[in-house]
Amino acid sequence: MQSPHTECLLKLVHEEHSIQDYQSNIPPRWCTGCGDNGILTAIQRLCRDEQLEPENTVFVSGIGCSSRLPHYMNAYGFHGLHGRALPVAEGVKMRRPDLHVFVTTGDGDCCSIGAAHWIHAVRYNMNMTMLLHDNQIYGLTKMQASPTSPKGQKSNTTPRGAYLNPLNPLTVTLGVSNVSFVAQVADWMPDVLYDIVSQAYRHKGFSFVRVLQRCPEFLPHRFDEWVRDPARMRVIVHPEGVQLSASLSKTYRNQEIHDPANLDRAREIASLTDEIPVGILYRNSDVPCYEDLREGERPNTPGLIRTVLDEEFDKFTIWPEEPGVAAAE
Ligand SMILES: Cc1ncc(C[n+]2csc(CCOP(=O)(O)OP(=O)(O)O)c2C)c(N)n1
Ligand code: SF4
């Protein structure tokens, strides 16, 4: 039988986390109407619904407006170096596979300076969720073209318009060995955004989610055509993927049934240009995670960690002299 004291402790342990438990005391400093706000809301909702313990959840980012997200979460966070979020997240996961790891990055951060890390993170397939906030411009540094900026886009670095066709983050990711989860969504579809973020979190492996994100400050009309005309969004539906509610189905009538196991069709869908595909393009839960392949080599049991730390601390400890020893010498 439990003592009243034990019962009281158990109650504390099982206390439900509310959405406020995941909000930090720093108010978001993104511009009004910035799509990053909607992405943050979806993540906080996910943490609440999955009851993720803040002390076991880590948000890692690089540099950019989007990379400010860890500051707004009440969890562990690492707002690090431009383009380098993924190697940091991989280090965390390798050492502590029990933690829930999320990476937030921008199109400059991921597809430009961080592109090499992105490709290898897909190949390593570590169990984490990556959100690419793709606003197709450098926001924080005030409007330089990014690799995903549309051809012809005028910016501070391309005053006559971008010369090159944009890089497609979906087809790139789908082309990497060991790819295991690829999805796309838009910040102006909050229910689908939440659904995809949840499915990405629940996938065992590296989940790559590209979120088309509005930047009203520097590209205010970039996605207007698609926001105003839902028929130009193609929603990829499947019992193993996104399933729209009856009311959303009326809004988003342009739907395609696509089995996320079909990689060839995923690549075709990812290449659409006039319509924006939204949904889970590809999922393969059989790809092994790198941290599992290295499982046996990880000396991370609490006992071993304590032994290693004790040995390190011992090197710097000045032990008090035993009474009488100094006098005898
Ligand atoms: C090594 C290095 N190079 C350049 C910069 C300057 N810089 C900071 S953020 C950024 C681009 C941010 O764009 P993006 O990743 O698309 O994020 P957004 O601000 O749009 O969310 C650049 C070039 C930097 N901080 N460090
Ligand atoms: S500059 Fe753009 S990306 Fe940055 S906070 Fe403002 S709207 Fe968002």
Alpha carbon distance 144, 156 (integer Å): 5
* Residue nearest atom 5 in ligand 2 by C-alpha distance: 30
Q: Which of 206, 194, 177, 208 has its CA nearest to residue 110?
A: 208
Instruction: Give, for 293, the enclosing helix (H) or strand (E).
Output: helix 290-293
Report whether residue 146 contacts ligand 1, using a CB cutoff of 6 Å: yes
pTM for the model: 0.90
pLDDT per residue, tens digit, the chain (329 aa), is: 445 555 555 555 568 999 999 999 999 999 999 999 999 999 999 999 999 999 999 999 999 999 999 999 999 999 999 999 999 999 999 989 999 999 999 999 999 999 999 999 999 999 999 999 999 999 999 999 999 999 999 999 999 999 999 999 999 999 999 999 999 999 999 999 999 999 999 999 999 999 999 999 999 999 999 999 999 999 999 999 999 999 999 999 999 999 999 999 999 999 999 999 999 999 999 999 999 999 887 766 677 788 888 999 999 998 888 776 655 55
- One-letter amino acid of 155: S
pLDDT digits (tens, 9 = 90+) for 177-223: 999 999 999 999 999 999 999 999 999 999 999 999 999 999 999 99
Mutate to test the pocket of ligand 1, among 141, 167, 212 (most ligand atoms within 8 A of CB): 141
* Closest alpha carbon to 294 in 174, 124, 171, 144: 124
Give the closest residue (by CA) to ligand 1 atom 7: 141
Ligand 1 centroid–CA 322 distance in Å is 58
Helix (H, G, I), strand (E, B) or coil at 132: strand
Q: Which residues contact 131 (CB under 8 A, 6 or more apart)?
A: 39, 43, 102, 103, 104, 105, 197, 209, 211
Atom of ligand 2 lying closest to residue 30 CA: 5
Per-residue pLDDT tens digits for 16-54? 999 999 999 999 999 999 999 999 999 999 999 999 999
Which residues contact residue 76 at a Cβ distance below 8 angstroms, ignoring those fewer than 6 apart? 54, 55, 57, 58, 59, 99
